[in-house]
């Protein structure tokens, strides 16, 4: 059961080497994992060797323990980059061993197959073209002819992605570079047609104003919903119009939470935003956050007067009574009812007619797993939600706790480099971090 040997090797790839690891155990089982990252295959390889030596002699069955041990023992090396790539490779290899030991495919150990087919998208199909729009057009045509039904590419940097090379020091593009990127995107779109999915990659290398080009150029291919949170009605109107001009596919509106507006004043604000744009609209009904809200009379006016108001996010705790009344007043077809407030009360809300969940991004995988289990009537779904509910209650102590919790979770997973919270919010102190860690241990 114990790990007796560890190997790392590089496999030549198209643009960079793939980094693979192999674990061996005393009972003769082996597991393969992948740590590939770019740039710096040599750094990833060295990190794999370090992590591999660190777990020699450990019990290969303690998968979560070994992940946490490596992550915590080596946290001074950083919480992302080569270290996390190496830990991920070991984690994959340990699951490979677990599947072989159980004589089951790993997907069965993780809860069974969810789908029978997965769409494959093409990447690096453009690497040999000359960078011109016509070169991209020809490469896209050849890629589709090879049988691919979706693709991804970065029209901004072509193949370098080097800071100060393809992109300037402030992460912007010159007007010439912008024009060239849009011409590349246009050429690929024309070559593939309107029904061919295209993902536009920026490699996190563009500033905000430049990134807005993506929305404009996407031409409706990628669904984008933007939230109008401006407190002043006049500013909210301008924001809604600007978002619409950018080409997003929907708007959401959080009513003002400064000034203690009456129901009539809140209605006039939301109605003004709805009048400013014909896009599909979601009302974030959140009196607990805004400090005020609309009564049922004004909500009915929205329903009658604005057909493009199609969804309501119910930020109540518990949400079920509100969802039940919404369904009774307007039916389940008129509006899509989404549950907010981190998903507290989700099982009851789904029974009363809710359609979905809009939670935070710090524990997205757990939210999806619980939601899917509830939707298919899994007998264990209630127990799974009860386990997750402890975390939800912790994060929803206050709005500041919610923001800080999700940033802390994303930092812990290596997605955020830091957990800093902008003032006047507050980061989790040592006591709250300890409480959160205890909750996560119980969830595992």
Q: What is the pLDDT along the chain (444 residues), one digit of tens a residue?
A: 899 999 999 988 776 789 999 999 999 999 999 999 877 788 999 999 999 999 999 999 999 999 999 989 987 877 678 999 999 999 999 999 999 999 999 999 988 888 888 889 998 898 888 889 999 999 999 999 999 999 998 887 654 555 555 556 666 677 777 778 888 888 999 999 988 988 887 765 666 566 566 556 555 555 678 889 888 999 999 999 988 887 788 999 988 876 667 889 889 999 999 999 999 999 988 766 655 578 889 999 999 999 999 999 998 778 899 999 999 999 988 999 999 888 889 999 999 999 999 887 788 888 888 888 998 888 888 888 888 888 888 888 877 788 888 888 888 887 777 777 766 677 888 888 889 888 888 877
Q: Is residue 426 situated within a structural domain?
A: yes
Q: Is residue 162 situated within a structural domain?
A: yes
Q: What is the CATH number of the domain that holds 242?
A: 3.20.20.70
Q: Is residue 116 situated within a structural domain?
A: no
Please identify, among 166, 189, 216, the residue that sits at the C-terminal boundary of a domain: 216
Please identify, among 216, 246, 275, the residue that sits at the C-terminal boundary of a domain: 216
| CA-CA-CA-CA torsion sign (118, 119, 123, 125) | positive
Please identify, among 184, 216, 248, the residue that sits at the C-terminal boundary of a domain: 216
d(CA 210, CA 207): 6
Q: What is the CATH number of the domain that holds 102?
A: 3.30.390.10
- pLDDT at residue number 159: 46
On whether both 315 and 198 belong to a single domain, the answer is no
- Which three-class secondary structure state does DSSP give residue 11? strand
On whether both 411 and 288 belong to a single domain, the answer is yes
On whether both 199 and 233 belong to a single domain, the answer is no
Report CA-CA distances (Å) from 184 to 168, 200, 218.
20, 11, 12
On whether both 154 and 200 belong to a single domain, the answer is yes
d(CA 319, CA 338): 10
Question: How many structural domains compose the chain?
Answer: 3
Quote the domain boundaries for residue 333. Answer: 225-443
On whether both 104 and 153 belong to a single domain, the answer is no
Q: pLDDT tens across 334-378, in order?
A: 999 999 888 889 999 999 999 999 887 788 888 888 888 998 888
d(CA 9, CA 89): 12
Strand order in 281-285's β-sheet? 225-228, 250-253, 281-285, 309-314, 336-339, 356-357
On whether both 230 and 207 belong to a single domain, the answer is no
Q: Is residue 335 situated within a structural domain?
A: yes
d(CA 256, CA 231): 5
Q: Is residue 123 situated within a structural domain?
A: no
Q: Both tokens of residue 176?
A: 């010439």
Residue whose token pair is 């509006």: 335
């Amino acid at each position: 059961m114990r790990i007796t040997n560890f190997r790392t090797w590089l496999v030549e790839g198209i643009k960079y080497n793939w980094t693979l690891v192999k674990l061996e155990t005393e009972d003769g089982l082996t597991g393969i994992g992948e740590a590939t990252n770019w740039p710096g295959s040599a750094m990833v390889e060295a990190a794999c060797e370090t992590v591999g030596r660190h777990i020699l002699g450990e019990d290969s069955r303690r998968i979560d323990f070994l992940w946490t041990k490596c992550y915590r023992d080596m946290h001074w090396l950083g919480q992302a980059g080569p270290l996390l790539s190496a830990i991920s490779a070991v984690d994959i290899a340990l699951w490979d061993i677990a599947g072989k030991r159980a004589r089951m495919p790993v997907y069965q150990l993780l809860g069974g197959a969810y789908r029978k087919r997965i769409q494959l998208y093409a990447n690096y199909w453009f690497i040999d073209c000359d960078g011109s729009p016509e070169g991209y057009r020809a490469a896209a045509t050849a890629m589709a002819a090879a049988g691919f039904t979706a693709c991804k590419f970065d029209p901004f940097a072509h193949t370098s992605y080097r800071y100060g090379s393809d992109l300037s020091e402030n992460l912007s593009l010159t007007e010439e570079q912008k024009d060239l990127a849009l011409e590349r995107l246009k050429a690929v779109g024309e070559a593939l047609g309107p029904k061919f999915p295209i993902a536009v990659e920026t490699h996190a290398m563009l500033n905000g104003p430049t990134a807005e080009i993506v929305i404009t150029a996407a031409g409706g291919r990628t669904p984008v919903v933007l939230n109008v949170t401006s407190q002043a009605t006049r500013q909210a109107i301008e924001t809604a119009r600007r978002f619409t001009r950018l080409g997003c596919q929907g708007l959401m509106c959080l009513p003002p939470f400064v000034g203690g507006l009456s129901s009539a004043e809140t209605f006039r604000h939301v109605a003004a935003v709805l009048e400013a744009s014909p896009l599909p609209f979601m009302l974030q009904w959140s009196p607990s956050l805004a400090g005020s809200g609309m009564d049922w009379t004004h909500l009915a006016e929205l329903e009658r007067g604005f057909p493009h108001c199609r969804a309501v996010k119910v930020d109540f705790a518990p949400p079920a009574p509100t969802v039940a009344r919404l369904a009774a007043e307007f039916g389940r077809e008129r509006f899509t009812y989404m549950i907010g407030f981190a998903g507290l009360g989700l099982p009851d809300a789904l029974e009363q007619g809710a359609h979905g969940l809009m939670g935070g991004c710090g524990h997205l995988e757990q939210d999806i797993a619980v939601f899917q289990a509830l939707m298919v009537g899994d007998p264990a779904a209630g127990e799974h939600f009860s386990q997750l509910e402890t975390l939800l209650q912790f994060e929803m102590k206050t709005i500041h706790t919610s923001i800080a919790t999700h940033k802390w979770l994303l930092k812990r997973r290596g997605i955020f480099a830091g957990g800093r919270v902008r003032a006047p919010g507050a980061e989790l102190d040592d006591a709250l971090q300890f409480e959160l860690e205890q909750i996560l241990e119980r969830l595992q």
